[in-house]
Amino acid sequence: MTRTDPLDAFKAWLSENGASFPSLSFKASRSGCESRGRGLFTTNRITLEEGKSIATVPAKLVINTSLVVRIAKYGRTTPAKKLAQCVDGLRKGGLSAEGAAWERVCLLVFLLWGWVYSEPLREETGRERDSGEIVEEDPALSIDFWLPYVRILPDIDGLDTPVFWSGSPALSLLKGMELDDAVRAKKLKLTREYSELLPHLSILDNAKGRITLERFMWADGVFWSRVLSFGSALEGTDTTTSDDYHLVPLVDFCNHSFDQHIGWHISESASCRVELRAVDMAVGDVAADTELFISYGQKPNSELLFIHGFVVPENPFETLIVPAPFIEGSNVPFEPDGDEESEERELSEEAEIEREERKMQKIGAQIAIKDKLQFLSLLGLRRVIDISRPPMSGNVDEDEQGEIEVDMNDPTKGLLTDDGLLAMYVSVLTAEDGFGRTDAGGPRDNPEYNLGGHKIFPLTKETFSTLVQALPHYEVIRLRVFAVLLDMINFRLYELSGEYTQGRATRTAPLKEGDVITTEDMRMNKVEVFREGQYDLLVAAFGLLQTLQERWAEFDVVQEYLTAIQAGSDDE
């Protein structure tokens, strides 16, 4: 018996069910020696026209929570009943049956359900008992309807995001970077979630143990790398959507490029739900056998690697994400290691006082950081700062002497976002600036904060920003922001330098076409590209910040402040 090629079966399924994609097909996509899996290609020369769709997908082929719930409610076959049992168990097990978390779980269930039935060997005998006897009126309620799609999804080895890199030397090269923490946190979260959901998920395969943690991670990886958020696409329009997350077969075979040809759009027409249209800059003729890319958004490499397992060399949207560098963190005194008890006995009275002071300072710093974290969250600010790649030299505003101009409205020259700058203010302000939580608000869940002798009210970003700018030594605060950022960048540069990583992993030579390439080579190469991008960004940010620091230090108010501090320390 010859088995139809899964790709041909998929294309036939799309066409039979009303998808339209004339002059397009799917095939293996490569960039040098790196595989991009499959992608969408032109089969002949086509002309991309403004606003004109080149492919459409009908609503009946779109997978979302409503579909999963519908199969569970109305499906009559054994696989559908198992899906129903699983979904029911998840609901009764305490999962709230609404919101993004629920939508994600429903789609993971769908993917795992499809996977269990996508190979004859994994099928259950119950399914065969149904065959021929139960015919669903709505074919979409049957597992068989969805198999042509599920069968061509990438398997575990086709995902290769860092959560699948356990034990890989490439993972050790991410140590000390934000991404490493994110990978660890994600693995932990998935492991916990898996053990909570397993009693229900295992219904899908009759508790045969095939839904392993790795398989669950596969479903999560497929979900995040392919899901489209209709909610974000409809933001700012009058249209709403009951389901946010959707898997859209055909559209989800488009690979990413920042120089995209096409974009996806939600359509209101009865025959089509989602369509692909040319983007303005790509209008014109396209040769046969050209891959058509969409853009996954202006994402930095950390995000592309984390979600998709690939990086873009010289990514123009490279960003460094660092935890908010609270100034109190750097003021915590160093506590030498040692046997505390024996030390205690030997300590002189003077040393004992010093030790007590250090302890109090440490507690004070911890409380201040806790208050700051609460303040950030009350203002809707994140605990991390995104540092963007500075514009290329020549693109920064310069005066006639070629010096970077100080801009009150954009003091970091685009290095930080508005929110990032506010989070930096929170990081560097201290009680000496009149910043902190007051007890006036009573219990901790209703705190009040002051700045420069004023209550920050209402507690919004706008009030906070206005009060920071009203501080008499505002320019000094800005300068402090630059100094703290410079310090942190300096440390990051040191971490990324060869010296720090020596012995951990060696640098790989760039991959060339024709090389025999292992998965490990590919991973190392991606991490190298990622690290190089981070390094270049740090060097450029360091240069720009140094210049900004010099320019801001020229302000009279800064000079006076520094002189006063110097005089104060001389008096001491």
Binding site for ligand SAM (CB under 6 A): 31, 36-39, 154, 225-226, 252-253, 255-257, 308-310
Minimum Å gap between C-beta 150 and ligand SAM is: 12
- Output 151 or 455, the one with its CB closest to ligand SAM: 151
Nearer to ligand SAM, 78 or 315 (CB): 315
CA distance to 59, 140, 250, 270, 541, per residue, from 275 (Å): 11, 21, 10, 12, 40
Q: What is the DSSP letter of 98?
A: S
Distance of closest approach, residue 308 Cβ to ligand SAM, in angstroms: 3
Which residue lies nearer to ligand SAM by CB, 222 or 489?
Answer: 222
Which is nearer to ligand SAM, 65 or 255 (by Cβ)? 255
> Looking at beta carbons only, is 39 or 300 nearer to ligand SAM?
39
For residue 70, what are the contacts with CB-CB under 8 A and spacing of at least 6?
140, 141
Residues 90 and 112: their CA atoms lie apart, in Å, by: 14
Q: What is the DSSP string of 264-306?
A: EEE--STT-SEEEEE-GGG-EEE-TTPBP-B---S--HHHHHH
SS3 230: helix
CB of 34 to ligand SAM, least distance (A): 6
For helices 418-428 and 474-496, the axis angle rounded to 10 degrees is: 100
Cβ at position 300, least distance to ligand SAM in Å: 14
**Which residue, 11 or 480, is less far from ligand SAM as judged by CB?**
11
Task: Tell me the residue number closest to ligand SAM, measured at CB.
Answer: 37
Measured between alpha carbons, how far is 467 from 435 in angstroms, rounded to an integer?
A: 10
Which residue, 375 or 530, is less far from ligand SAM as judged by CB?
530
Instruction: Report in angstroms how near the CB of residue 18 gets to ligand SAM at its nearest.
Output: 21
- Shortest distance (Å) from residue 530 CB to ligand SAM: 13
Cβ–Cβ contacts within 10 Å for residue 341, how many? 7
> Minimum CB separation from ligand SAM for residue 236, in Å?
24
- Cβ-proximal residues to 317 (8 Å cutoff; 6+ apart), any chain: 258, 298, 299, 300, 388, 389
Please name which of 104, 416, 431 lies closest in space to residue 244, comparing C-alpha atoms: 104
